[in-house]
Structure 1
Amino acid sequence: MSSPIRVGLMGLNRNTSTSNQVPGLWATKTHLPYILASPKFKLIAVCNSTIESSQTAIKNHNLGPEVAAYGSPEDLAKDPNVDMVIISVMVGKHYMLAKPALLAGKDIFVEWPLGASTAEAEEMAGLAKEHGCKTIVGLQARASPLIIKIKDLISSGKIGKVLSSTVISSFGGLPPGGMWPTGAEYYLDINSGGTPLSIFFGHFLDSFVHVLGDFKVLKSSMRTDYPLVDIVDMSGNVLQKDYRKTTPDGIQILGTLESGASASIAYYTATNPSIDGTGVRWMITGTKGQIEVTTPESQWQMGPPGTVLKARLGRGAEIETIDFEDLVEVKEVNERVFPAVNTARQYEAFVEGRTRDFPDFEAAVKTHKLLDRVKEEAGW
């Protein structure tokens, strides 16, 4: 086996808390367990905002004295022992943290959204191309067996030519419309780059066009139903009333794909769980059959347990439930659980060069531009 890819991880939290409001939780839940388990990667360094923070994270996660501690992205980028940099922090810091690594020619994994704006994403993609960096972006649903199976069913011709696709989804997993957790206020600012539009909706939209192709014609609308929300602590106590919110609670797209198929996508916000517990309901209708995907109210990209794929594969065929998790996967993936498993699958696809199953920076720029188009068509 070839030598493992030597990794520098940015954004690892200093303790092992599993609270959703702890900074660095995503790196702890998803990136770190896979990297430590996989023989294809080796953790070389941790980089947080200070050397002290990195040292504390190394100590509390029992990573050992051989893991270097850095307090700046420039210092991490200068380490000749680091082959690949992983950035798992709030999107507003992606550009400033990624640029030194790109200039140093490091391979790089940046969580989605790639940048706080399309301009940032485009510059990072340009730097990666200029300096020969291999790149990956955390749109992990592309690596999920669900998406792979849907693409295979469509390409097999079993539902015929795709005529239409319809999606209705709640912003499942978000707090009730009138409340928001402290520490995540950036999510309420349409200009922050990390919003319901770019994250919840953006993850699904990337999957949608990855499966069905790009939009030729697109019309959209967005609305904010809860312009004022209360900021609350972990116990639900109100810390600030009537905080201004500028992000959308409802997003609708109606259009025609390059293939000629019609498409409609609607996302809504509700203060209660959906009536039947369904988060995403995605229908794909062809000339011979139909595919339906339903998920619980959770985050699409993570592959929530309870997701069901049904299909009618051919005219007059019976409806069948499709087993989409019948893949043979390596031990390091099989041992991962929700919400980490699709991220592990991305790493495997990256190492194996399966570019269909993970987006690089250039692919992420396309999704950024599509989201810009949605905003522009909606008059935002």
Structure 2
Amino acid sequence: MAPIRVGMIGLSVATETSGVGALGSWGVNAHLRSIQGLSDEYEIVAVANSTVESAQRSIEFHKLPENTKAYGNPEDIAADPNVDLIVISVEVRKHHLLAIPALKHKKSVFVEWPLGANLAQAEELTKLASANGVKNMVGLQGRSDPLVQKVKEILATGKIGEVTSSTVTVCSSIFFVEAWLKDIEFYLDFNSGGNEFTILFGHFLDSFTYLLGDFTQVQGLLKSQINTIPIIDPSNGQVVNPAYHKTAPDSIFVQGTLENDALASIVFRKARSAADNVGFRWYITGTEGEIVITTEEGVWQHGISSKRSIKLKIGKEGETEQIDFSTGDISRASKVPSPGTNTARQYESFAKPDGEVVTFESALKTHRLLEKIAKSAGWEL
């Protein structure tokens, strides 16, 4: 079977050492490395950036084949008959504009999360994809994580009985905002659509509902308690704005009822450091037992690391069992370095006729839930 021919929008000259937060680094660390690691299934045939010259620089920098096409706008790459799949990995405010030409040309599309900068954009893209019969995927890679898949397996066995409640506490010190980088200030703005609430919290919320089902009732409390942030130019370390006004919430409290009538409580707190060095703790309580998932501080819940744990206890007298969630996976996707490993697993599934992926329609449900939480807290997305 011939490889899927990929056109990448937003491939920068960032490198693996640029850091996950650096502008353009996710497109390299997650998407480029995944595609290169799955060379039997995919090949990059085109790159589009803001100019043809910028696209050509990226092609040369990453040593892509000389016949890789360089484009300077989304319409031209979408119209290329040799492109099967358009991958969009840029900041969220551009997702809507860049995805529309690809969908209208009936290309398969992979859009990073969030799908749109707001609910209206996500709804429009979902409708257009459906109307054109376009195969699609959104970058909610947490569902592909072996830890999440192992918890799903445990729940499916019924070992803990009927789920009655779930409690989550997260210390988001991994993204402490005592300073921020120039050119990615949008992450500090609530109305950008790409901030701590929609990205950090939104990624977890998608995995939460994937495992436990949607909320039937929900109430949120959102607050921005760190309101001014110095902005630093990463090229020289100089402060370019000593007091940028941040509007995105950094404290996120959510309570509600799930579809099976279980109660849920999710708390994202902003501390400089967790007192117990646990950055993430998630209890799933059932009538027969309980699961607890933890990660050490500094390790995000979907990061590939040995510093993550699943424990299971059945009954009152039962022993607490440490659950092994290493899969013995020897696929090429598993060999793509973190943080791109789970994205590679998404690509691997997407290439299969019956592979499970997070579609626009599924991502739209998470957009709607975020909107509901924000409105309940008196905030508007």
* TM-score bracket relative to the smaller structure: over 0.9
Question: 2: distance between equivalents of 1:165 and 1:14?
Answer: 42
The answer as to whether partners of 1:143 and 1:349 remain within 8 angstroms in 2 is no
Q: Deviations over 1:251-284 (max 9, x none)?
A: 10111111011100000112x2212322210000
Distance 1:181 1:41, change over 3 A: same
The answer as to whether partners of 2:178 and 2:229 remain within 8 angstroms in 1 is yes
RMSD of aligned alpha carbons: 1.6
User: How much has 1:360 moved relative to structure 2?
Assistant: 0.2
User: How much has 1:112 moved relative to structure 2?
Assistant: 0.2
Question: 1: distance between equivalents of 2:16 and 2:260?
Answer: 47
Residue equivalent to 2:78: 77
Residue equivalent to 2:30: 30
For these two proteins, the number of residue pairs brought into alignment is 375
Residue 371, structure 1, aligned to residue 370, structure 2: yes
Which one is further off, 177-186 or 157-166? Answer: 177-186
* TM-score, scaled relative to structure 1: 0.95
Distance 1:101 1:352, change over 3 A: same
Residue equivalent to 2:335: 335
Question: 2: distance between equivalents of 1:260 and 1:22?
Answer: 41
Where 1:102 maps in the other structure, the secondary structure is helix
Question: 2: distance between equivalents of 1:96 and 1:304?
Answer: 36
Residue 317, structure 1, aligned to residue 318, structure 2: yes
User: How much has 1:151 moved relative to structure 2?
Assistant: 0.9
User: How much has 1:314 moved relative to structure 2?
Assistant: 4.8
Q: Deviations over 1:88-121 (max 9, x none)?
A: 0000000111100000000010000000011001
The unaligned stretches of length 5 or more in structure 2 are none
Residue equivalent to 1:188: 188
Residue equivalent to 2:125: 124
Where 1:147 maps in the other structure, the secondary structure is helix
Distance 1:302 1:100, change over 3 A: farther
Amino acid paired to 1:207:
S
Q: Deviations over 1:197-243 (max 9, x none)?
A: 00000000011011000111111101111111211233654321221
Question: 2: distance between equivalents of 1:308 and 1:233?
Answer: 37
Q: Deviations over 1:117-160 (max 9, x none)?
A: 11001100111011111110000001111111111101101011
Question: 1: distance between equivalents of 2:354 and 2:339?
Answer: 21
User: How much has 1:188 moved relative to structure 2?
Assistant: 1.1
Residue equivalent to 2:54: 53
Which one is further off, 318-327 or 45-54? Answer: 318-327
Question: 2: distance between equivalents of 1:286 and 1:159?
Answer: 5
Question: 2: distance between equivalents of 1:22 and 1:143?
Answer: 24
Residue 245, structure 1, aligned to residue 242, structure 2: no
Where 1:220 maps in the other structure, the secondary structure is strand
Which one is further off, 14-23 or 80-89? Answer: 14-23
Residue equivalent to 1:352: 352
Question: 1: distance between equivalents of 2:373 and 2:333?
Answer: 35
Counting aligned pairs with the same residue, the percent is 44
